[in-house]
């Protein structure tokens, strides 16, 4: 994937469509799902919005394994979404690796068909759009523009938002993550993310207890 850089004033064309099921807006980039124009908790595309641990539905910036919802106080004592009994509470292995609706903050807060994107949908966004590092209102991020015929005039802006780790925000100027619905199966204490930096955009993984942003999708 080729990354270019430009000032935000050079290019920003966004076509929005009102969702019939909520007040939130999305852009159709010609993909299998439509991507929201803002993060959860944000009113503008460049705003960071709220931060969540994976599978939790309340804004959370003081985070660690002791306070994480789906463990018994330790990353090796996972109480839900654990496919490997080595890391499960009392050797739990529930074979769940994708968030259920009640644990999906996008669905809980926005309703309708809104949800957190899957790892595969993030990969689809990476492979079928042009990613351009830029700045909007002094916030760094990527202008993501459709590449498919008929969708090349449609874009979303995804800011880098950093990540909260035990109450401290790291990397908010040049790095960030967005949750997917999917966690690891071999090592279920981590979940997949859309990882952004000035160098590249890619699919990554971080600890489920960390607090990062969410960019919803709808079908």
Rg of the Cα atoms in the chain:
17
CA distance linking residue 31 with residue 43, whole number of Å: 24
Q: At a CB cut-off of 8 Å and minimum separation 6, what does 163 contact? A: 51, 169, 170, 171, 175, 176, 177, 206, 210, 211, 212
pLDDT given for residue 168 in this prediction: 87
Q: What is the pLDDT tens value at each position of the chain, 219 positions in all?
A: 433 333 333 334 444 444 444 589 999 999 999 999 999 999 999 999 999 999 999 999 999 999 999 999 999 999 999 999 999 999 999 999 999 999 999 999 999 999 999 999 999 999 999 999 999 999 999 999 999 999 999 999 999 999 998 888 888 888 999 999 999 999 999 999 999 999 999 999 999 999 999 999 998
Number of domains in the chain: 1
pLDDT given for residue 22 in this prediction: 56
What is the rounded (10 degree) CA torsion for 7, 176, 153, 12? -30
168: containing domain: 3-218
pLDDT given for residue 14 in this prediction: 45
Nearest to 104 by CA among 116, 122, 118, 94: 116
pLDDT given for residue 17 in this prediction: 45
The structure tokens listed for 202 are 């890619």
pTM exceeds cut of 0.85: yes
CA angle 156, 39, 98 (to 5 degrees): 105
């Amino acid at each position: 994937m080729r990354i270019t850089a430009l000032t935000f004033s050079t290019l920003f064309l966004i076509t929005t469509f009102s969702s019939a099921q909520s007040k939130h807006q999305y852009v159709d980039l010609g993909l299998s799902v439509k991507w929201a124009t803002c993060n959860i908790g944000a009113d503008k595309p460049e705003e960071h919005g709220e931060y969540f641990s994976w599978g939790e539905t309340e804004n959370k910036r003081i985070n660690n394994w002791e306070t994480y919802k789906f463990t018994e106080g330790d990353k090796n004592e996972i109480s839900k979404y654990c496919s490997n009994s080595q890391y499960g509470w009392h050797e739990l292995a529930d074979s769940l690796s994708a968030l259920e609706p009640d644990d999906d903050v996008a669905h809980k807060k926005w309703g309708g068909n809104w949800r957190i994107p899957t790892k595969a949908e993030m990969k689809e966004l990476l492979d079928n759009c042009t990613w351009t590092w830029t700045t909007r209102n002094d916030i760094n991020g990527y202008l993501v523009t459709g590449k498919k015929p008929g969708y090349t005039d449609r874009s979303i802006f995804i800011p880098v938002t950093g990540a909260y780790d035990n109450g401290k925000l790291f990397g908010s100027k040049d790095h960030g993550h967005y949750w997917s619905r999917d966690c690891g199966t071999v090592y279920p204490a981590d979940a997949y993310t859309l990882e952004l930096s000035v160098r590249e955009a890619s699919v990554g993984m971080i600890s489920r207890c960390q607090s990062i942003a969410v960019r919803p999708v709808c079908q």
